[in-house]
């Protein structure tokens, strides 16, 4: 810990700057005093490792950044460095995350602490650079804990909290901090950069080095266990550690609040105190939904927003408590599991099932895939539909958000490709309104 030179220790002199989400992530790693950054570039994440590389280069950071030949090796290096006691940070996105997926399961099983920022980007095929959450949700069963951010400020805060959370002996699992490509990664917003001394008090250097890997004391990580009971024991231990991570986060969050004045609860509730309807959304679409909530509140609709910041461990009880008393809940998934629908919707439904009846009418919307814009008016219409569902008791089938304008555009492209002569403009997109309701 660096001694505070002027005696006073906390909440002093944070600095407000315009930062992209990527720069905020890099600042989080820098303030966290990161020792080691294994890296591999991928849009829209690369700006993070560029920023860190510059700081290692100019001496702002003491440590090492190493470029690997793939994310698979990068992830392995992150796990081993963390096992050896280094405070380790890495970042990836989309296809890179998938390429490292095999090692994500492996290193989480090693029970080593490190932080990885994922910059969400839709998965191929077709290829895109823009955001949705299928990449990070593909990692939801790995044993990594997951924090999802709505602002650049939250990205910086989450990285600091994630180091503490991950290194806590009650948890000791790697943590993913997720932010959306473009809408956060390349977007600058005002960010308070906390004072370095205050951060050092909140996040001292790693103190869990007693059992770390080193030359004189070799260890074998990721050992083979050739029977189900032993295997089950270790997997059950991961489950206990992950489930138990929620109360640990609440402890850390209290300290974080006293340092910064900012809360970091597992779910962010907005205007929910007297709400009868709720929108559930994850990530940066959350602030857009807040605008819709404000506008509908001004019209007299008692609607609020519930935004899970943490998806692993899943804050099931808190969500069930908050959402269970609603008359209607609309889940907007920025992901799609073909053949199932919205992943978040399924998880929210599971959480609500534990509640006694009457349960809220639960509607499902898929939007924001590959960076598709979900407008404020769309959020408002989503609430409208959910209100209708809660009155009639008839819950419409999941809606794949798409407008007539988008439909015309697609048909035009297909006509240009001369590939769909059998389809006239507009066909066979149906309005869906009659089929869904009536």
Q: Which of residues 32-51 bind other proteins (CB under 8 A)?
A: 43
Minimum Å gap between C-beta 84 and other proteins is 35
C-beta of 43 vs 212, nearer to other proteins: 43
In terms of C-beta density within 10 A (0-12 exposed, 13-18 middle, 19 or more buried), how is residue 15 classed?
Answer: exposed
CB 374 within 8 A of CB 366: no
Strands 15-20 and 188-193: antiparallel
Piece of 70-78, 105-113, 121-129, 136-144 that binds other proteins (CB under 8 A): 121-129
Question: Binders of other proteins among 243-302, rule CB under 8 A?
Answer: 276, 284-285, 287-288, 290-291, 294-295, 298-302
Hey, is 289 helix, strand or coil? helix
Interface with other proteins, residue 435, by CB under 8 A: yes
Which one, 292 or 318, has the nearer CB to other proteins? 292
Q: Centre a 10 Å sphere on the Cβ of residue 80 and count the other Cβ atoms it contains.
A: 18
Q: Which of residues 372-431 bind other proteins (CB under 8 A)?
A: 373-378, 381, 384-385, 387-388, 390-391, 399-408, 412-420, 422-423, 426-431
Q: What residues from 203 to 242 belong to the interface with other proteins (CB under 8 A)?
A: none
CB 97 within 8 A of CB 91: no
Which span sits near other proteins by CB under 8 A: 61-69, 164-172, 184-192, 204-212? 184-192
Candidates 32-40, 59-67, 181-189, 261-269: pick the segment binding other proteins (CB under 8 A).
181-189
DSSP string, 136-148: HHTTTTSS-EEEE
Q: From the list 22, 183, 322, 361, which residue makes contact with other proteins (rule: CB under 8 A)?
A: 183
The count of residues interacting with other proteins (CB under 8 A) is 74
From the list 39, 43, 19, the residue with the least C-alpha distance to 31 is 19
CB of 69 to other proteins, least distance (A): 23
- Contact between 357 and other proteins per CB under 8 A: no
Q: Which of 1, 102, 190, 219 binds other proteins (CB under 8 A)?
A: 190
Cβ closer to other proteins: 24 or 115? 24
Measured torsion, CA atoms of residues 9, 10, 16, 22, in degrees rounded to the nearest 10: 100
In the complex with other proteins, the residue whose CB is nearer, 64 or 408, is 408
Choices 95-103, 138-146, 261-269, 370-378; region in contact with other proteins by CB under 8 A:
370-378
Q: Rule CB under 8 A: is residue 73 a binding residue for other proteins?
A: no
> At its nearest, how many Å lie between other proteins and the CB of residue 258?
22
Q: How far is the CB of 50 from other proteins (least distance, A)?
A: 11
Smallest separation (angstroms) from other proteins to the CB of 399: 7
- d(CA 355, CA 144) in angstroms, rounded, equals 27
**Residue 218 or 428 having the CB closest to other proteins:** 428
CA distances from 334 to 42, 345, 372 (A): 21, 10, 9
State the sign of the Cα–Cα–Cα–Cα dihedral 261, 264, 265, 267.
Answer: positive
Is the Cβ of residue 343 or residue 374 nearer to other proteins in the bound state?
374
- Spell out the alpha helix ranges (H) of 343-393: 343-353, 376-392
Applying CB under 8 A, which of residues 36, 182, 202, 314 lies at the interface with other proteins?
182
C-beta of 354 vs 427, nearer to other proteins: 427
CB 200 within 8 A of CB 34: no
Pick the binder of other proteins from 1, 2, 18, 350 (CB under 8 A): 18
Least distance from other proteins to the Cβ atom of residue 192, Å: 11
Positions in 91-120 near other proteins (CB under 8 A)? none
Question: 312: which strand partners?
Answer: 146
Minimum distance of other proteins from residue 262's CB (angstroms): 12
Q: Rounded to whole angstroms, what are the CA distances from 309 to 149, 268, 295, 306, 313?
A: 6, 7, 23, 9, 10
**226-255: string of b/e by CB count within 10 Å (b at 16+)?**
eeeeeeeeeeeebeebbeebbebbeebbee
- If the CB atoms of residues 48 and 252 are measured against other proteins, the closer one turns out to be 48
Nearest residue to 208 via CA among 248, 175, 167: 167
How does strand 145-148 pair with strand 310-312?
antiparallel
């Amino acid at each position: 810990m660096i001694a505070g030179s002027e005696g006073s220790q906390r909440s002093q002199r944070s600095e407000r700057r315009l930062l992209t989400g990527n720069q905020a992530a890099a600042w989080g790693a820098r303030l966290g005093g990161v020792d080691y950054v294994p890296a591999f570039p991928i849009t829209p994440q690369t700006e993070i490792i560029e920023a860190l590389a510059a700081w290692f280069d100019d001496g702002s950071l003491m440590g090492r950044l190493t470029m690997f030949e793939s994310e698979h090796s990068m992830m392995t290096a992150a796990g081993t460095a963390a096992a050896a006691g280094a405070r380790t940070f890495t970042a990836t996105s989309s296809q890179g995350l998938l390429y490292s997926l095999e090692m994500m399961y492996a290193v989480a099983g090693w029970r080593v602490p490190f932080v990885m920022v994922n910059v969400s980007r839709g998965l191929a095929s077709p290829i895109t650079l823009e955001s949705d959450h299928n990449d990070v949700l593909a990692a939801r069963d790995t044993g990594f804990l997951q924090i999802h951010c709505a602002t650049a400020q939250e990205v910086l805060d989450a990285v600091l909290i994630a180091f503490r959370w991950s290194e806590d002996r009650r948890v000791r699992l790697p943590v993913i901090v997720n932010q959306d490509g473009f809408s956060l990664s390349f977007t600058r917003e005002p960010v308070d950069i906390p004072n370095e001394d205050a951060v050092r008090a909140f996040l001292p250097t790693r103190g869990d080095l007693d059992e770390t890997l080193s030359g004189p004391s070799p260890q074998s990580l990721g050992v083979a266990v050739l029977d189900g009971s032993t295997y089950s024991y270790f997997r059950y231990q991961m489950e206990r550690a992950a489930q138990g991570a929620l109360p640990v986060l609440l402890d850390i969050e209290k300290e974080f609040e006293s340092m910064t004045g900012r809360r970091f609860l597992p779910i962010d509730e907005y205007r929910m105190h007297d709400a009868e309807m709720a929108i559930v959304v994850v990530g940066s679409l959350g602030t857009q939904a807040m605008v819709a909530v404000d506008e509908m509140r001004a019209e007299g609709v008692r609607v609020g927003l519930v935004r899970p910041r943490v998806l692993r461990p899943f804050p099931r009880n808190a969500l069930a408590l908050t959402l269970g008393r609603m008359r209607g809940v609309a889940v907007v998934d920025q992901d799609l599991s073909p053949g199932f629908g919205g992943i978040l919707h399924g998880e929210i439904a599971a959480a609500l099932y534990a509640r006694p009846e009457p349960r809220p009418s639960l509607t499902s919307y898929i939007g924001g895939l590959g960076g598709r814009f979900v407008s404020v008016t769309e959020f408002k219409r989503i609430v409208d539909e959910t209100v209708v569902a809660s009155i009639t008791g008839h819950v419409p089938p999941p809606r794949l958000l798409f407008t007539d304008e988008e439909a015309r555009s697609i048909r035009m492209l297909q006509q240009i490709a001369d590939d769909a002569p059998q389809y006239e403009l507009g066909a066979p997109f149906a309005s869906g309104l009659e089929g869904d309701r009536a």
